[in-house]
């Protein structure tokens, strides 16, 4: 058993021994070309925009967007109010119709009750001439 363990340890140390790296020469000329332009931009050159002009443009654009958003919100609120008003009008009309129907049925019931109280109509007992 000891021989097996010692052989495993020996094989592991031999297989995991540090290998010497082969020195490779790297060429410096391959990595000197950059994929982007490195030309400096002079802020005082003709045609250059100062930073505050760009900030003003952003401020104007953002204020225009804010106004547009406010208009959208105002339109949405007006539409919701109109929908609520229409819904209330519909409910009011339904209630009025129900009330009118109830009044008509009450009138009919009263008329039927009066007819019953008076009794059946009298028949004409006189002979016809």
pLDDT per residue over 24-66, tens digit each? Answer: 555 554 556 666 666 666 556 665 555 555 566 666 667 777 7
Longest Cα–Cα distance in the chain: 150
Per-residue burial over 54-77, b if 16 or more Cβ lie within 10 Å, else e, is eeeeeeeeeeeeeeeeeeeeeeee
Tell me the average pLDDT across 93-117: 90
The pLDDT score that the predictor gives to residue 68 is 82
Sign of CA dihedral 99, 100, 106, 109: negative
The pLDDT score that the predictor gives to residue 87 is 93
**Which phi and psi (to 5°) does residue 97 adopt?**
-60, -45
The pLDDT score that the predictor gives to residue 70 is 87
Contact 43, 50 (CB under 8 A): yes
Q: Which of 62, 46, 42 is nearest to 54 (CA)?
A: 62
Tell me the average pLDDT across 18-22: 61
The residue with greater pLDDT, 64 or 107, is 107
Q: Which of 78, 58, 81 is nearest to 70 (CA)?
A: 78
pLDDT per residue over 78-102, tens digit each? Answer: 999 999 999 999 999 999 999 999 9
């Amino acid at each position: 058993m000891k021989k097996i363990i010692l052989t495993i340890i020996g094989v592991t140390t031999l297989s995991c021994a540090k290998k010497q790296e082969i020195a490779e020469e790297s060429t410096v000329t391959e990595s000197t070309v950059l994929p982007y332009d490195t030309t400096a931009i002079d802020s005082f050159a003709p045609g250059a925009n100062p930073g505050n002009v760009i900030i003003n443009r952003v401020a104007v654009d953002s204020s225009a967007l804010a106004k547009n958003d406010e208009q959208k919100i105002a339109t949405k609120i007006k539409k919701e109010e109109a929908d609520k008003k229409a819904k209330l009008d519909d409910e009011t009309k339904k209630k009025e119709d129900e009330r009118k129907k109830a009044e008509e049925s009450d009138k009919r019931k009263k008329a039927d009750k009066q007819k019953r109280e008076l009794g059946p109509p009298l028949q004409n007992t006189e002979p016809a001439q």
